[in-house]
Amino acid sequence: MTQTLTLRRPDDWHLHLRDGPLLHGVLSDSAAHFARAIIMPNLVPPVVTGAQAMAYRERILAARPEGSAFTPLMTLYLTEETDPEDVARAHADGIATAVKLYPAGATTNSASGVRDMDKVRPVLERMAEIGMPLCVHGEVTDPDVDIFDREAVFIDKVLKPLRRQVADLRIVMEHVTTQNAVDYVRDQPKRLAATITTHHLIINRNAMLAGGIRPHYYCLPVAKREKHRVALVEAAVSGDRRFFLGTDSAPHLDSAKLQPCGCAGVYSAPVTLSCLAEVFDVAGALKKLEDFVSLNGPRFYRLPPNDETVTLVKGPPLDRTRVRETGAGPVTVFDPGFPLHWRVRD
C-alpha cells in the first residue's frame, strides 16, 4: 500500500542561492519544492543596502524556471556601516524581510561582518521598533574558543547580552546545532526562534570525521556529537512553534570543497523534503512535519502560510540526485547515508 502525506507547500527560512551561473544551476531545486525562501546575503561583495537587495532579487526572479512562482524573501547583510534608515526603508518597501548578522570571520564570505556589536546598536534598535527580524549566525570567532563550543559560547557572550540590551528585537538563531541552543530557545517565551537544517538532523560529527574525512559534510556551524543531533530532532518533531526549517542549503563547487582547505557548506535543496520525511517518519512524527516545514516559519515571520499543497509519496528507495551539474561546475548533493523512500509528487 502506498502511503501519502499532503502538506501546505513548505518554505525554506535559510537558503544560499549565490549568483551568476551557480544561481542559475541551483535555483530550480529550491523552486521545485518551496514557495518562498529567506535568501542569505553573503555574496562577494555582500548584499548590504536596500538597492543591492532589490537588484539581487531581480536576478533571482529572472533565473526562475518558466512558470515558477518561487518568492525570494531578501535579507540585508549587517555591517558596522549599515544605515538604520536604509534598513527601515527597505523593510517598509517590502524589499528586505530581515537583516543578517555574521560575526566577522565566522563563516563563508563573512569578512565584512560585525566586530563590535555596539557599533550596530542603532540599526538593531530601529529594527526592534519596526518589528523587523534579525537572523543570526550564532558562533563566536575567538580563536581561543574550540570550534565545537563556538555556538554555546555565542549564546552566553553575545546573544544573552543582546537580548537584554535590545529587548524588543525579534531574533532567529540560524542553523542551531546544539542542545544548548535548543534549551535556550525553549526557555524564551517571546521574540526568539531557531531554524534547523536538514543535515544537522541527520549527521553528527562522526559522519564527517570517522573512517576518513568527508568534506561534503563540512559546514558551519560544524556538526556536533550525537546527543546534540538527538536534541535537534526532538525539537523539530515536537511541533514547538519556535523551531522551523532553514535548510542552509549552501552550494559550493566540488572544486572548492575538495581542497586541503575546503570551504564550508552542504548542498541539500534537492533532497531536503525526502530526507525530512524520512526523519519524521522514523521518529513516528509525520503529523508534525507540516508544522516544521510549512507553518511555524510563516507564523514567526508574520506571513500567511501557503495556500497550495505538496504531496509526498512513500515507495521503493529513490534514485536520488547525487551531483547537480551547473554552468559553473558540479556541486555534490547531500547524502543522508540511508535510503530515501519519500518523494515529492510532481
Ligand X SMILES: NC(=O)N[C@@H](CC(=O)O)C(=O)O
- Measured from the CB of residue 13, what is the shortest distance to Zn ion in angstroms? 11
Minimum separation from the CB atom of position 113 to ligand X (A): 10
**Is 142 considered catalytic here?**
no
Q: Cβ(247)–Cβ(273) under 8 Å? A: no
The amino acid at residue 34 is F
Residues 6+ apart with CB under 8 A from 332: 216, 254, 257, 267, 322, 323, 324
Residues 217-236 that bind ligand X (CB under 6 A): 219-220
Which of Zn ion, ligand X, none is residue 97 near (CB under 5 to 8 Å by kind)?
none
Is 137 or 216 the residue whose CB approaches ligand X more closely? 137
Nearest one of 24, 32, 166, 20 to 99, comparing CA atoms:
166
Which whole-number Å values give the CA distances from 10 to 34, 181, 271, 305, in the listed order?
5, 24, 14, 8
| Candidate list 12, 16, 113, 279; residue touching ligand X; CB under 6 A | 16
Rounded Cα gap, residues 126 and 156, in angstroms = 24
Output the smallest distance, CB 273 to Zn ion, in A. 18
The span from the CA of 91 to the CA of 100, in Å, is 13
Question: Is 16 labeled as ligand-binding?
Answer: yes
Partner in contact with 333, chosen from ligand X, Zn ion, none, beta carbon below 5 to 8 Å by kind: none
DSSP element (H, E) containing 331: strand 329-332
**For residue 204, what are the β-bridge partners?**
none
Of the candidates 148, 228, 236, which has an alpha carbon nearest to the alpha carbon of residue 198? Answer: 236
Annotation-wise, does 24 bind a ligand? no
Q: Which is nearer to ligand X, 250 or 310 (CB)?
A: 250
Q: Does 137 bind ligand X (CB under 6 A)?
A: yes
With b for 16 or more beta-carbon neighbours within 10 A and e for fewer, the 12-34 pattern comes to bbbbbbbeeebbbbbbbbbbbbb
Partner from Zn ion, ligand X, none binding residue 265, C-beta < 5-8 Å depending on class: ligand X
Residue 47 contacts residue 75 (beta carbons within 8 Å): yes
Residue holding cell 563547487?
Answer: 253
Question: Per CB under 5 A, does 49 bind Zn ion?
Answer: no
Instruction: Check binding of 23 to ligand X (CB under 6 A).
Output: no
Out of 107, 268, 294, 296, the only residue in the binding site for Zn ion (CB under 5 A) is 107
| 320 is annotated as contributing to ligand binding | no
Which listed residue (248, 278, 290, 291) binds ligand X by CB under 6 A? 248
Q: Is 249 one of the binding residues for ligand X (CB under 6 A)?
A: no
Block residue for cell numbers 576518513: 212
Q: Is 108 in the site for ligand X (CB under 6 A)?
A: yes
CB of residue 224 vs ligand X: minimum separation in angstroms?
Answer: 14
Q: Which residues are annotated as a binding site for Zn(2+)?
A: 14, 16, 100, 137, 175, 248
Q: Which residues are annotated as a binding site for substrate?
A: 16-18, 42, 137, 220, 252, 264
Residues with catalytic function: 248
